Amino acid sequence: MLRLSPDMAAGLFYALAAAFLWGAYLFGLKRYFDDYPGPVVIVLVDGLALCLYLPVSTAIGGVPDVPAFGVEAAVLVVAAIALAALGFLTFLRALSGGDVSLVAPVSKTVPVFVLPLEVLFFDEFFGPLQVAGIVVVTAGVYLANYRGGGVLTPLENLVSSRAVQFALASAACYAVSDLAKRVVLQDAGVPVRVWVPLQLGGIALLVLPLALRHWPSGVAADLPKFLVAAGVVALAQQTTAVTFAVTSASVASTVINLQAVVAVVLGGIVLGEEHLRTRLVAAALAVAGVGLIAL
């Protein structure tokens, strides 16, 4: 029988919602924005998401109270945003220097970093089944990104491949960003409706210089597509923030990373991409892992 605390139940619900939203977004990137440089997509989508989020959030809940940031809270906010942007840019650097089959699996090992750091620095306790669930979900996400060759090839290339090393650095950046996000939303008491605009605007500004160097023509013609993607991202950021506000970073990060499974299964079914059976096994592992986390 499941014995979920209210916070864990809410956290799992919002984390799963965020995973499906982010997975749909990743699938949309592959199908509709494959010709655009990554930084350009981030700037346009996050910028438009900010423009959509602010009026809707204000209309529904009024103007949120902005807390007085102390130095520590301000540093954590900047660190969480900057590390998320750095994780994305490091992932792009990894892709530019290596095959996707090597880079993608390693870049999705974020929970492997989050779990020990959270236990070490935040005295978080996880039962054996929860730890097993996190490991199983991480294995599922890893398998979902596997694209042929030896299953352990990406990790075996860690010593010799700069691309894999950058992918691992990307995962580490996202892990520390997730932990900082948890502190910002839980301990520093920054409201979700304040955090989401800060994250959207902050990442867009940090990536903007790189995007301007590769800005393509014809963006206006695809503006409706960017608006739809921005709406999905605004919802995904909201549900992600709520998840980190009510549950541990290890659980939040693990379940939200199911986005990779959602994206690749959609890619296999809708786009006819290869290795669909492997993706379905990955999805089954991910579902089993979430079940263990909930026990």
Boundaries of every domain in the chain: 6-294
Q: In this structure, are residues 45 and 188 in contact, taking their beta carbons and an 8 Å threshold?
A: no
Task: Give Cα 71 distance to the centre of its chain.
Answer: 26
Using the CB atoms, write b or e for 115-153: b if 16+ within 10 Å: bebbeeebebebeeebebbbbbbbbbbbbbbbbeeeeeb
Question: What sign does the CA torsion over 7, 80, 263, 261 have?
Answer: negative
CA–CA gap between residue 13 and residue 239 (Å, rounded): 9
Predicted model pTM: 0.85
pLDDT tens digits for the chain (295 residues)? 445 677 778 888 999 999 999 989 988 887 888 888 889 999 999 999 999 999 999 998 888 877 777 788 889 999 999 999 999 889 888 877 766 656 777 787 888 888 888 888 888 877 888 888 888 888 887 877 676 777 777 777 667 778 888 988 999 999 999 999 999 998 888 899 999 999 999 999 999 999 999 899 889 999 999 999 999 999 999 999 999 998 888 888 888 888 878 877 887 788 776 777 777 887 788 878 877 876 6
Specify the DSSP class assigned to residue 214: T
CA–CA gap between residue 289 and residue 140 (Å, rounded): 8
CA–CA gap between residue 42 and residue 205 (Å, rounded): 10
Q: In this structure, are residues 171 and 107 in contact, taking their beta carbons and an 8 Å threshold?
A: yes
What is the per-residue pLDDT for 1? 44
How many other CB atoms are there within 10 angstroms of residue 96's CB atom?
Answer: 10
Task: Give Cα 51 distance to the centre of its chain.
Answer: 21
